[in-house]
Amino acid sequence: MKTFNILAIETSCDDTCVALVKDGYIKTNIVISSSEEQSKFGGVVPELAARMHEESIIYAFSQAVDEFNLDDIDLIAYTKNPGLRVCLNIGEALATNLGMLINKPVLPVDHLHAHMFAFYDAPRKQKLAFPFLSLIVSGGHTAIFLVRSVIDIELLNYTVDDAIGEVYDKVARELGLGYPGGPAIDALYHHDNVRLNFLNKFPNPEQQFSFSGLKTAVLNYINQCKQKKCELDVKTIASSFQALAVEIIVAKLRYYLNENRLLDKYKVRYIVVGGGVASNKLLQKRVRDIKEVPTYFPSDKTLCSDNAGMIGIYANLLHKNTD
Ligand code: KG4
Ligand code: ZN
């Protein structure tokens, strides 16, 4: 039987990504990151990211398709939204022009929906079971969804201010740890160094996510230290910040499963985590400590953070859904 081949494109932020996905299996997943350039500015500058996409996209495309025959592509999928407009436009232009050139259908895909299904990279090993609870933790988003099917996705909770990855990046910048900051803070974390409590009151798990209080408390602490010219205990600050950030997220998941009775009401089958922060080691451990249901993470770091493989996985599921 002929395979169903998807060429997938993702350019929503600072990574230029092209992938080839055959019957739901990722064959190539090329990510060209501009984070080194962005790190000079301490965060993502949209116009710079767009210029880097323009420079890299054809190279990423040729790497992804390698010796693959373009006539064998059945569908072109690309990230439509959400993301930085100037960056999304570049992926969309490649997708639509290529679609016209090789006369193949073009499918716009939601970036967050793709993160939700990034864990599903080996469809023959396991069948999807609905509904599941999806936690998305990235540089631009922090949200919890109830996923009833590939297309029936209900938003339960979304941050009212900063996204968790953004806070990691800001704290890391103040600590002189560079960009992106999440991996650096994660690497410094040790439970023996959790000594500071930045919040007088733990956030109410019933409310929407909010990280601006935690961010301000940590940044104020660092700035006061700097003003007093005392030595920054980077490990203690990073570990204490990470412990609190992760507990706020885990408390929210527990709330939805138990107090909000999603487990009883909808028989939630499992928890899935996606987004760049999903590769955080403490978060993985603490989410796995939730014993009520199994938990799934994308199988590697590339699939957690922005990549086109997840766009192809999700596009394949959408295609099968309409078959
Ligand atoms: O999903 P992603 O690649 O891009 C967005 O869609 O935003 O996520 C990037 C974010 C950055 O803020 C980065 O610092 C964070 O994910 N991140 C981490 C870790 N690895 C990446 N945060 C905490 N721990 C990590 N290990
Ligand atoms: Zn993302």
Q: Say if ligand 1 is within 6 A of residue 280 CB.
A: yes
Residue 317, pLDDT score:
97
Distance 111 CA to ligand 2 centre (A): 6
Q: Say if ligand 1 is within 6 A of residue 277 CB.
A: yes
Residue-wise pLDDT for 185-237, tens only, equals 999 999 999 999 999 999 999 999 999 999 999 999 999 999 998 889 999 99
What integer is the mean pLDDT of 106-110? 98
What integer is the mean pLDDT of 135-144? 97
Residue 140, pLDDT score:
93
Task: 64-70: list long-range contacts, CB under 8 Å, 24+ apart.
Answer: 64/7, 64/18, 64/19, 64/20, 64/28, 64/29, 64/30, 64/308, 65/7, 65/18, 65/20, 65/28, 66/28, 68/5, 68/20, 70/102
Q: What's the gap between Cα 251 and its chain centre?
A: 20
Residue 262, pLDDT score:
79
Give the predicted TM-score (pTM) of the model. Answer: 0.95
- In this prediction, what percent of the chain has a pLDDT beyond 90? 85
Residue 37, pLDDT score:
81
Rounded CA gap, 199 and 217, in Å? 7
Q: Is the pLDDT of residue 145 over 80?
A: yes
Q: Is the pLDDT of residue 108 over 70?
A: yes
Q: Is the pLDDT of residue 125 over 80?
A: no
How many other C-beta atoms lie within 10 A of the C-beta of residue 257? 18
What integer is the mean pLDDT of 103-131? 93
Task: Name the pLDDT band for 238 (thresholds 50, 70, 90).
Answer: very high
Distance 45 CA to ligand 2 centre (A): 16
Of 59-63, 120-124, 128-132, 140-144, the range with the lowest mean pLDDT is: 120-124
Q: What are the CA-CA distances from residue 47 to residues 139, 186, 221 (Å)?
A: 17, 29, 33
Residue 136, pLDDT score:
98
What integer is the mean pLDDT of 127-151? 96
Task: Name the pLDDT band for 323 (thresholds 50, 70, 90).
Answer: low
Best CA proximity match to 277, nearest among 167, 196, 173: 167
Best CA proximity match to 137, nearest among 155, 159, 122, 161: 159
Q: Say if ligand 1 is within 6 A of residue 83 CB.
A: no
Task: Name the pLDDT band for 1 (thresholds 50, 70, 90).
Answer: confident
261 sits in the region (left: phi over 0; alpha: psi -120 to 50; else beta) called left
Average pLDDT score, the chain:
94
Q: Is the pLDDT of residue 38 over 80?
A: no
Distance 305 CA to ligand 2 centre (A): 6
Residues in the 5 Å CB sphere of ion ligand 2: 138, 306
Q: Say if ligand 1 is within 6 A of residue 274 CB.
A: no
Residue 132, pLDDT score:
97
Residue-wise pLDDT for 77-96, tens only, equals 999 999 999 999 999 999 99
Q: Any idea which residue has 């920054």 for tokens?
A: 232
Rounded CA gap, 85 and 296, in Å? 31
